[in-house]
Copies of this chain bind each other. A is one copy, B any other.
Amino acid sequence: MERVLRIVIIGSGHVAEVLVRAFSEADGVRLCQLFSRNAQRGKALASVGGCPWEDRPSMLAQADVYILAVSDRAIGEVSAELPLDRGLVVHTSGSCLMEEISCNVARRGVFYPLQTFTAGREVEFREIPLFIEAEHGTDYSLLEALGSRLCNSVYRSDAALRRKMHIAAVFVCNFVNHLYAVGEQWMSANGMDFSVLKPLIAETTRKMLESHFPRTVQTGPAMREDYPTLEKHMQELIPYPQLQEIYRILTEHIIHMKSTDGKL
């Protein structure tokens, strides 16, 4: 029988919320405590997870793994203030070093789920790729055991690789969503309903997910090098220099990528 791993989650933001939900559905783990400064959010989350809430450092529960689900800039401070001299302490950030956890903590690590989290939205945690790192080699098996109880795919990854992954995530998630926002803004400013674009958006992503290389399913005037259309679009965007700049740079890069066969 698998050993039951005792977990404390520190924080009450989006990542904490998603972890609480995932842990409360997983076997072989026990959520012992939800520790947070924000009492209202903390109590609500603890109730979801069926565990007690706490905000007094002296009352921090004993656990095998403490998960710091706090903002990047709070990792150092929170880990220094709490009596974390026992157990493994991990942060959940894609862009922070493991060493940003206070050096007073005996055993440090990283537990980074690569996904975009929004309050109130449930995600299928099992499908999320999880990236782990441990200061002490022996903690890898602990993090792998914990990770595999939540996720189908667990990868070892150092800070350099995690940062590279995070950059990719910014391009394919944050920047993609921003282009959707630009589209919405543009449609609305021109008196059109953004929702007419939704079938196009859905098909674009579906098509890419079913392909191995997104560049092989690229369409549009830049890909066709249809310069008359590109010129008309650039003209139309003159009153909006920032949108014109985005248009120009992405168009140039689409054409550039054709000549490099996908090599960086």
- Known contacts: A117-B219, A174-B222, A250-B175. The answer to whether A168 contacts B180 by CB under 8 A is no
Give the chain B neighbours of A229 by CB distance below 8 A.
72, 95, 166
Nearest chain-B residue to A202 (Cβ)?
A: B209
Per-residue contact bits, chain A 64-104, to B (CB 8 Å; 1 contact, 0 not) = 00000001110000000000000000000001000000000
- Known contacts: A163-B236, A179-B172, A189-B264. The answer to whether A200 contacts B116 by CB under 8 A is yes
Interface status of A136 (Cβ within 8 A of chain B): no
CA A171 – CA B204 in complex, angstroms? 11
The contact of A217 among B72, B118, B172, B203, by CB within 8 Å, is B118
CA A236 – CA B218 in complex, angstroms? 26
Give the chain B neighbours of A224 by CB distance below 8 A.
71
Main DSSP-derived SS at the A contact region: helix
B185 touches A263 (CB 8 A): yes
Interface status of A4 (Cβ within 8 A of chain B): no
Tally of this chain's copies: 2
Give the chain B neighbours of A186 by CB distance below 8 A.
164, 167-168, 171, 264
Among the 9-residue stretches A33-41, A52-60, A120-128, A138-146, the one with 4 or more Cβ atoms under 8 Å from chain B is A120-128
A192 touches B165 (CB 8 A): yes
CA A71 – CA B198 in complex, angstroms? 25
Which 10 residue pairs of A and B lie closest in terms of their CB atoms, listed nearest first? A174-B220, A180-B214, A172-B183, A189-B264, A181-B215, A181-B214, A205-B205, A95-B229, A129-B196, A173-B204
Q: Which residues of A contact B (CB under 8 A)?
A: 71-73, 95, 114-118, 121, 123-124, 127-129, 153, 155, 161, 163-190, 192, 196-205, 207-209, 213-215, 217-224, 226, 228-229, 232-233, 236-237, 240, 242-243, 245-247, 249-250, 252-254, 256-257, 262-264
| 5 residue pairs A–B, Cβ–Cβ below 8 Å | A165-B196, A171-B247, A184-B262, A189-B264, A246-B250
